[in-house]
Structures are given as structure tokens and as C-alpha cells.
């Protein structure tokens, strides 16, 4: 059954509301930081959350964009993110790698390239630093939650990648709502975790929302690309299979959590930020950059 444009956008908003209620993602008076990169998923999430916020006058929404310092890429995304926030009257904060870590991402990549000991792809260390930047920004805002635009596709790809990397216990951590508790850690929620990427993209098109479509010049996650292609091929042949995988993991996650050694968050001995290790991964990366 095909839906008209209005019914389609309302169905996405309704599904998001249902996901938020099912996983008890928000309280009515929460301050919610939303990670907005300027890509289609994050601008769609901002639009949906801004609409939901209208029904909750005590809630507060603040968009956060991480400026990694990637020339010819992030500059455009920053403008798009700012434009979307202005249209929706949502407060917008920008946090930069240069200001937090002392280097732009372009400079980091150059420095890392010269080191034989570094086997990480740019996305691997960018991901660590982005998470840290978002947590720091959300904490400064006084946010109760940090919402990210991970879709059903992202979630299922991550499940498969954890299996392919032999890191199956990590599945216990990748939940729709994080349950790690630490005064310096802002809990993360994923309101789009049950919505396919195709639908969030269509939502942006139908709503006429401007988003960035230029790919990041450092995007290089070869294994994730293979996982995405394989899952898309399976979904094409067996519609609904991504959702089935997601639901199956939801069912067995409590058992995985039992097996996984629960690592509580503590403070990094160097920077004091929350981490499961003695020295957080950001500080480990900082050392490599020197």
C-alpha cells in the first residue's frame, strides 16, 4: 500500500514517537542534545524531534554539530546544519576538533600517515574523537540525553560488523538507549533505530529539507560497505529481514549482557573523562598524534 506524502511523513513521525515511548528515551522535561552532522538522517531526526518537542513545552532541544576540520566537506555541512536549525528555531552549538584536541582532522590524518605503528583507518579514530566531542558538548549544554540519528540500517550493520570482527560481546553495549552511568557521561539514545535509512532519506526529500550529500573524503570503511551491500541485497530478496535481525538481537541481548563482563565507567587517569579503560581512547590517540 503506498501512502501520500503527508501520510508518509506522519507515519515516520508516529514511528519515531512509538520508538521513543517503547524504549522510554525521554522524560517530558528533558534537555535533549541532537547530533546534527548535516546529512539526511540527522536533519530528518532534528525535524521530527522539533515537531515532537512542540507537544512538550518543558523539553528543550539543542542541536550540536562537530566540526572535525575537514576542508571542502564539513564547511558545507555546517552551513546546512545551521540553516536547518534556524528554520526550526532550534539552538545550534558547534564544537570543533581544533578547539578540543588542538588539531583539525586534516592535520591529524597527515600526522598519523607518517607513523608505521598506526594501523587505524581515519574513520576509526575520527569516530572516537567525535563521540568524545559530542559528549563534551552535550554535558556543557546540561543535556539529559544525547540523540543520534542511527537508523535501522546502521544498527544492523554494526551488529554484523561486531560478529565479523569477532567482538560479539560488544553487541551488549550497542543499544537503543545506553545504560552506562557516570556523572560526566550523557546517556545516548537512537530514536531512528527501528526506521530504515530509505525512509529517513525519503522523509528529507518529501519535506524538502536541505542536507549534505557529498561524501566525506576520508570515508573508507570497506567492511561496513560490504556489510551494507550484503544486507541491502538480502532485504531486496526478503523484505523485512533487517528488522528481523534487529529484533532477534534485542531478544538475545540480555543473555549477551550476562556473559559480557560489565565494565563500569571510571575516570581516565589523564583527562578525567569517563572511560572503561585506565587511559581513555582519546588520550591514547593524543599520544599517537604527538
Residues that bind Zn ion (CB under 5 A): 268, 270-271, 280, 283
Closest CB 74 distance from ligand SF4, rounded Å: 8
Task: Judge contact between 227 and 161, C-beta under 8 A.
Answer: yes
Task: Judge contact between 169 and 260, C-beta under 8 A.
Answer: yes
CB of 221 or CB of 250, closer to ligand SF4: 221
* Three-point CA angle 133, 53, 155, nearest 5°: 50
Distance CA 123, CA 131 (A): 12
Q: Which does 153 bind (CB under 5 to 8 A by kind): Zn ion, ligand SF4, none?
A: none
CB of 122 or CB of 191, closer to ligand SF4: 122
Could you tell me which of 37, 194, 50, 208 has the C-alpha nearest to residue 131?
Answer: 37
Q: Which does 144 bind (CB under 5 to 8 A by kind): ligand SF4, Zn ion, none?
A: none
CB of 152 or CB of 216, closer to ligand SF4: 216
Dig out the grid coordinates for 237 from the structure: 530478496
Distance CA 259, CA 209 (A): 44
Helices (H) and strands (E) in the chain, counts: 11, 7
Q: What does the binding site for ligand SF4 look like in residue numbers (CB under 6 A)?
A: 68, 122-123, 126-127, 216, 218-219
Distance CA 105, CA 224 (A): 21
Q: Which does 196 bind (CB under 5 to 8 A by kind): ligand SF4, Zn ion, none?
A: none
CB of 120 or CB of 252, closer to ligand SF4: 120
Could you count the other beta carbons within 10 Å of the beta carbon of residue 79? Answer: 13
Closest CB 124 distance from Zn ion, rounded Å: 17
Closest CB 221 distance from ligand SF4, rounded Å: 7
CB of 10 or CB of 99, closer to ligand SF4: 99
Closest CB 78 distance from ligand SF4, rounded Å: 12
Closest CB 251 distance from ligand SF4, rounded Å: 30
By three-state DSSP, how is residue 25 classified? coil
Closest CB 269 distance from ligand SF4, rounded Å: 27
Distance CA 138, CA 131 (A): 11
CB of 109 or CB of 260, closer to ligand SF4: 109
Amino acid at each position: 500500500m503506498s501512502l501520500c506524502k503527508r501520510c508518509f511523513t506522519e507515519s515516520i513521525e508516529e514511528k519515531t514517537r512509538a520508538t521513543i515511548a517503547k524504549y522510554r528515551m525521554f522524560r517530558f522535561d528533558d534537555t535533549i542534545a541532537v547530533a546534527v552532522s548535516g546529512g539526511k538522517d540527522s536533519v530528518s531526526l532534528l525535524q521530527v524531534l522539533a515537531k515532537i518537542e512542540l507537544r512538550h513545552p518543558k523539553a528543550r532541544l539543542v542541536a550540536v554539530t562537530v566540526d572535525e576540520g575537514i576542508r571542502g566537506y564539513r564547511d558545507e555541512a555546517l552551513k546546512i546544519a545551521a540553516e536547518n536549525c534556524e528554520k526550526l528555531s532550534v539552538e545550534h552549538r558547534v564544537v570543533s576538533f581544533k578547539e578540543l584536541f588542538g588539531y583539525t582532522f586534516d592535520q591529524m590524518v597527515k600526522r598519523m600517515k607518517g607513523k608505521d605503528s598506526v594501523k587505524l583507518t581515519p574513520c576509526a579514530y575520527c569516530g572516537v574523537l567525535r563521540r568524545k566531542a559530542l559528549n563534551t558538548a552535550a554535558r556543557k549544554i546540561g543535556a539529559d540525553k544525547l540523540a543520534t540519528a542511527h537508523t535501522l540500517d546502521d544498527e544492523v550493520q554494526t551488529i554484523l560488523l561486531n560478529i565479523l570482527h569477532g567482538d560479539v560481546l560488544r553487541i551488549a553495549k550497542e543499544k537503543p538507549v545506553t545504560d552506562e552511568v557516570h556523572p560526566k557521561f550523557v546517556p545516548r539514545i537512537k530514536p531512528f533505530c527501528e526506521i530504515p535509512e530509505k525512509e529517513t532519506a525519503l522523509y528529507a526529500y518529501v519535506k524538502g529539507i536541505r542536507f549534505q550529500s557529498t561524501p566525506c573524503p576520508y570515508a573508507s570503511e570497506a567492511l561496513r560497505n560490504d556489510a551494507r551491500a550484503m544486507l541491502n541485497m538480502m532485504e531486496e530478496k526478503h523484505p523485512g529481514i533487517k528488522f528481523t535481525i534487529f529484533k532477534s538481537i534485542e531478544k538475545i541481548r540480555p543473555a549477551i549482557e550476562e556473559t559480557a563482563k560489565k565494565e563500569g565507567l571510571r575516570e581516565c587517569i589523564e583527562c578525567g573523562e569517563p572511560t572503561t579503560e585506565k587511559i581513555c581512547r582519546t588520550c591514547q590517540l593524543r599520544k599517537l598524534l604527538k
